[in-house]
Structures are given as structure tokens and as C-alpha cells.
């Protein structure tokens, strides 16, 4: 697999279940009640429990390593949250390679759910040495 | 990572419907000045991870995320970085690890009505993988506090902290985290839901225990019972296990005649509680026997209640499961 600027990653569809929200929050040691207690979430003005940012962060990382394989190394993950992930929704992660330089790739990631963009982010990863990439083809190379 | 904000303003940008550097009065500018004074101060100093990096936590996390990467759990997923700094359900050993400065900043925002919080941004840099056995330490600084912004959620301030995470003294990761501390926007649909809640909500249930069970047993029989110390004869209310005058633990009960006067009162306008419909008067009733109790005053509009007003005990059934002693007033 050669990595080139403009490459699109296949979408990853993630059903937003209560189980995912609660297990993600607890596995990330985030016990804020809005991530597991629907009544408490309602009292705080939210229609239901919603996914915590640490789970979103983990899912974005997983999306990248699922696609590129276990030998790449994540260097940076920067995410910004928008529309919350509520139970019963589905988030579709999509990604596009935006830069390839010296064995490092940048991928922009968007996670869209039924009410809007849940997450927009940028991931920088180190491609492994035996990972061919289209650096020479990168139109952004000169610009960087 | 500064200067690489290619994420764009879009997502929260969509929520930021208007932006205002809180102006108009020097008072609000002063407030932002007070907030900004916290920029550069420590948010966390000398934090230590509750647990060493370990396989079970990695495995539980991977199961939750559906992450089957074979590199784990021999190494920790990089995006678990923040997890190793979390206090968990019982918090960090020795209490909160937040600095005094950060507590003060959050308290200032709370005081300005920005009581809700939502995480908006997380930017992490991974310098080397964490492996089971690594023990993390961390320090964080308050990087910036934004001017007041109006978002879909409500208006408030973004607070950005930057954390350095070390293992064995070596810098292993950087973690920039942004939260929005905001005053929730009043939404018409939410307001409607609240109104419905008020209609359907039930009064709080009394907490009945060994020390006050006799009182509630009396209420069930429409008797208002006062405790009397069998040693010194002092009457006491509300119910307590011992006499406040002589310390004696033995007591008997006296049934109140039901006559009383308004000793004092307040009128509740705000905040609203479910099952209560403000404005309403909360009375401190002095019973003919001499003890005082807090109760509702019925039969008199809230603005006609007066100190010294004679009142008479009655029992009010507030719902199928709850009856309460209240006092009916007589307008002079």
C-alpha cells in the first residue's frame, strides 16, 4: 500500500450504543455522570448520556491504526468536538491523507453522526520503514 | 503543536453563533482581566498516576473501543495517554490534584454562572509508547482563558490547559485540553420539559431512620409528636437521639395541640425545585408548646403571610404515598 496525499480511508461506521458510551467512559476512568446516568444527564440539560472525549479520541486512533496497520506509530492526535454522540445514533468516520513527508503522514478525520459533525481531527503518524509512500508525488512537498 | 491548528473552527465553530468580547461595561472587562491573570499559572503540580500502566486497563480499554491492534497490550494505545492521569471514581490519593490557582479560576467562573462544563478539544503528542510497568507523573499549566463566547450550549469561557506527562522523569507525551465553562442556554423545548417535570415531579421523600421513625409514625396517625426528655423534661424538635439540654438519651412523646404562630418566614422565588411552584412561603412555626418547626403555610397567599400570624395544624396529602403536617393561616 502506497500512501499518497488525497488518499481516502474507507469509512468506519460505529453504532453509538449505551454499552459503547458507558464502557468507553469507564475504561478511560471518566466517571462524570453525564456519561453513564441518563437521569443525571437530563438534569444537566442533555437529552441523554453522551460519549466522552477520551472515547472519541480512542476511536479516532483506532480508525487510523486499523487502516494503516499495527506497525505505524501515532505521533499526534488533535480532535475538536461538535455534535454529541447520543445512544442510538451512528458515527461514520472518514479520513483523507493531507500530507506525506519523510515517512510521516497527516490524515484529516471527520466523524459525522445523525445531528452533525461529532468530531474533526488531524492525526500525524509515522509510517514504518517498509511502508512505501508516495512522497515524491506529494504536491505539498515543496510547500512544506 | 502551536500554529498547527488545522482542525479549523468548524465543529465548535458551528456552535459559536456569535462571539463577543464581553464589553459594554468596564465591570465585565475587569472580570475577563481577572480570568486572564490565571494564564501561565500551574493547573496541576506533581500529579502522579493512580496506577502504573498495566495490561488489564489496556485490555479493558481496547475491548470498549473495539481495538484489536496486536501491538496492545504489550504497549499502551497512545490515545490512552490521558487515562493514566485520571483520578477515577475516588479521585487522586490525598484529594484533588488541581492547584489552588486552577480551583480559584473554576470558582470564579462558577460564580459568574458558568457552572456547566464540556470538553471541546484534545490535542496530544506522543514521544514514546507507554508500556506496562511505566509510572506516569504529570504537571499542567493554565495556557489560556478565552473572552466570553456565545455558543449553542450557552455563553462562557474556553479554558485551555497544557499537560506534560513523564515516565521515569522522561517526557513521554504532551496533552492540551480545552473545556468550555458555560452558563447553559435556556431553550424553549427544555423549558417546556421543565414545566412538565414540575407537574409530574413528586415532593422529596423524607429520610426515615431509627432516630425519627416515631415522628413519621405519628404523622401517619395525624398526630404531631414532640420529644420530651424524661430526665429534665425539655421539649425538643426536630427529633434527635439525645437531649440538647442534659444529654439524656431517654425520651417520651407529647402530642402537639396543633396551635401555633408564624415565628418567621421566607418567600421562595428562585431557584425552582421540581414539585414546588414558586413563589411560596416557607414558615418557621412556633408551636404552642414552645418548639419551632419549618413547614408550609396553607390557606394564605404567600404575600399575606405575617410574623405573629396564628396558624393551625392540618395534614396535607401531597401524593398517594406522602402526607405532611402543614399549618393553615387565617388572614386577619
Q: Where are the alpha helices (DSSP H) in B66-115?
A: 100-111
**A55-105 tens-digit pLDDT:** 999 999 999 999 999 999 999 999 999 999 999 999 999 999 999 998 999
Distance between CA atoms of B296 and B260, rounded to whole angstroms? 13
Residue B114 CA to residue B101 CA, distance in Å, equals 17
Is there a contact between B78 and A61 if contact means CB atoms under 8 Å apart?
A: yes
Contact yes or no for B83 and A29 at CB 8 A? yes
Residue in B14, B69, B80 closest to A70 by CB:
B69
Q: Which chain B residues are Cβ-neighbours of A44 within 8 angstroms? A: 116, 184
**B332 confidence band (pLDDT: 50, 70, 90):** low
User: Does A44 sit within 8 Å of B61, measured CB to CB?
Assistant: no
Alpha-carbon torsion, ordered A43, A44, A45, A46, to 10 deg = -100
- Cβ contact, residue pair B82, A54, below 8 Å: yes
Of B174, B168, B163, which Cα lies nearest the Cα of B135? B168
Q: What pLDDT digit, counting tens, does each position of B272-292 carry?
A: 777 888 888 999 999 999 999
Check CB contact under 8 Å for A53 and B122: yes
Quick one: average pLDDT of A117-131?
A: 86
A38 touches chain B (CB under 8 A): no
**pLDDT score, position B185:** 73
CA angle B237, B242, B243 (to 5 degrees): 65
Q: Quick check: A111 contacting B, CB < 8 Å?
A: no
pLDDT of residue B130: 97
- Whether pLDDT at B20 is above 90: no
Which residue has better confidence, B238 or B10?
B238
- At residue A130, the pLDDT reads 53
Tell me the pLDDT tens digit for each residue of B164-180: 999 999 999 999 999 99
**CATH class held by domain B10-188:** alpha beta
Mean pLDDT of B16-20: 34
pLDDT for the residue B17: 32
Q: Is the pLDDT of residue B18 over 80?
A: no
CA distance B246 to chain A (A): 44
Interface contact B200, partner A, CB < 8 A: no
Amino acid B331: pLDDT: 64
A26 has pLDDT over 90: yes
Average pLDDT over residues B181-202: 59
CB contact under 8 A, B124 and A70: no
pLDDT digits (tens, 9 = 90+) for B96-138: 788 999 999 999 999 999 988 899 999 999 999 999 999 999 9
Between A and B, how many CB-CB pairs are < 8 A?
A: 146
Looking at chain B, which residues constitute the CATH 3.10.129.10 domain(s)? 10-188
Taking CB atoms and an 8 Å cutoff, what residues of chain B touch A28? 61, 64, 80, 82-83, 86
Quick: pLDDT tens for B62-72: 999 999 999 99
How many angstroms away from the CA of B144 is the closest CA of chain A?
A: 17
**B217-255 tens-digit pLDDT:** 999 999 999 999 999 999 999 999 999 999 999 999 999
Confidence of residue A4 (pLDDT cuts 50, 70, 90): very high
Q: What CATH number does the domain located at A8-137 have?
A: 3.10.129.10
Mean pLDDT of chain A: 89
Q: How confident is the model at residue B197 (pLDDT cuts 50, 70, 90)?
A: very low
Q: What's the rounded mean pLDDT across residues B202-223?
A: 91
Lowest mean pLDDT among B13-17, B135-139, B150-154, B183-187: B13-17
So what's the pLDDT on residue B152? 78
> Considering only residues 71 to 100 of chain A, which have any Cβ-Cβ distance to chain B shorter than 8 Å?
71, 73-83, 98
Q: Is A128 on the interface with B (CB under 8 A)?
A: no
Q: B2 touching A, CB under 8 A?
A: no
Report d(CA B168, CA A74) in Å as an integer.
21
> Which residues have CB under 8 Å from B309's CB, separation 6+?
B261, B262, B297, B300, B329, B330, B332
What is the predicted pLDDT for the residue at B21? Answer: 36
List chain A residues with CB under 8 Å of B76. none
Q: Which residues of B touch A13 (CB under 8 A)?
A: none
Confirm if B239 and B228 have CB atoms less than 8 A apart: no
In terms of pLDDT, which residue wins out, B21 or B301? B301
What does the pLDDT average to over A96-115?
Answer: 95
pLDDT at A42: 87
**C-alpha to C-alpha distances, B288 to B34, B108, B245, B255, B331, nearest whole angstrom:** 54, 47, 20, 11, 19
pLDDT value, residue A129: 57
Amino acid at each position: 500500500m502506497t500512501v499518497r496525499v488525497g488518499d481516502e480511508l474507507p469509512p468506519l461506521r460505529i453504532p453509538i450504543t449505551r454499552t459503547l458510551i458507558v464502557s468507553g467512559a469507564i475504561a478511560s476512568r471518566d466517571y462524570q455522570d453525564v456519561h453513564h446516568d441518563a437521569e443525571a444527564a437530563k438534569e444537566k440539560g442533555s437529552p441523554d448520556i453522551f460519549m466522552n472525549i477520551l472515547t472519541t479520541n480512542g476511536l479516532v486512533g483506532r480508525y487510523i491504526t486499523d487502516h494503516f496497520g499495527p506497525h505505524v506509530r501515532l505521533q499526534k492526535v488533535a480532535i475538536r468536538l461538535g455534535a454529541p454522540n447520543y445512544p442510538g445514533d451512528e458515527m461514520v468516520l472518514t479520513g483523507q491523507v493531507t500530507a506525506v513527508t519523510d515517512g510521516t503522514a497527516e490524515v484529516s478525520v471527520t466523524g459525522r453522526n445523525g445531528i452533525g459533525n461529532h468530531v474533526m481531527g488531524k492525526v500525524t503518524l509515522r509510517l514504518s520503514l517498509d511502508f512505501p509512500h508516495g512522497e515524491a508525488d506529494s504536491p505539498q512537498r515543496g510547500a512544506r | 503543536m502551536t500554529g498547527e491548528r488545522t482542525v479549523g473552527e468548524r465543529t465548535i465553530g458551528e456552535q459559536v453563533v456569535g462571539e463577543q468580547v464581553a464589553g459594554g461595561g468596564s465591570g465585565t472587562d475587569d472580570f475577563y482581566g481577572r480570568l486572564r491573570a490565571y494564564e501561565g499559572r500551574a493547573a496541576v503540580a506533581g500529579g502522579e498516576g493512580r496506577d502504573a500502566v498495566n495490561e488489564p486497563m489496556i485490555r479493558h480499554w481496547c475491548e470498549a473501543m473495539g481495538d484489536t491492534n496486536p501491538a496492545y497490550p504489550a504497549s499502551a494505545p497512545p490515545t490512552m495517554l490521558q487515562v493514566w492521569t485520571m483520578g477515577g471514581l475516588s479521585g487522586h490519593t490525598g484529594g484533588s490534584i488541581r492547584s489552588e490557582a486552577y480551583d480559584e479560576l473554576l470558582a470564579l467562573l462558577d460564580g459568574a454562572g458558568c457552572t456547566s462544563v464540556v470538553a471541546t478539544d484534545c490535542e496530544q503528542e506522543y514521544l514514546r509508547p507507554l508500556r506496562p510497568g511505566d509510572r506516569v507523573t504529570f504537571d499542567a499549566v493554565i495556557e489560556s482563558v478565552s473572552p466570553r463566547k456565545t455558543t449553542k450550549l450557552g455563553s462562557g469561557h474556553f479554558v485551555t490547559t497544557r499537560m506534560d506527562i513523564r515516565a521515569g522523569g522522561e517526557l513521554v507525551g504532551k496533552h492540551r485540553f480545552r473545556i468550555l465553562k458555560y452558563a447553559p442556554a435556556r431553550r424553549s423545548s427544555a423549558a417546556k420539559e421543565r414545566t412538565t417535570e414540575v407537574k409530574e415531579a413528586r415532593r422529596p421523600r423524607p429520610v426515615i431512620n431509627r432516630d425519627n421513625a416515631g415522628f413519621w409514625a405519628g404523622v401517619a396517625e395525624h398526630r404531631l409528636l414532640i420529644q420530651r426528655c424524661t430526665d429534665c423534661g425539655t421539649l425538643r424538635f426536630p427529633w434527635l437521639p439525645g437531649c440538647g439540654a442534659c444529654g439524656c438519651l431517654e425520651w417520651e412523646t407529647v402530642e402537639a395541640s396543633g396551635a401555633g404562630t408564624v415565628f418567621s418566614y421566607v418567600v421562595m422565588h428562585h431557584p425552582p425545585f421540581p414539585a414546588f411552584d414558586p413563589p411560596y412561603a416557607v414558615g418557621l412555626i412556633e408551636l404552642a408548646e414552645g418548639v419551632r418547626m419549618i413547614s408550609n403555610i396553607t390557606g394564605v397567599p404567600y404575600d399575606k403571610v405575617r410574623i405573629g400570624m396564628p396558624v393551625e395544624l392540618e395534614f396535607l396529602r401531597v401524593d398517594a404515598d406522602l402526607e405532611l403536617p402543614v399549618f393553615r393561616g387565617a388572614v386577619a
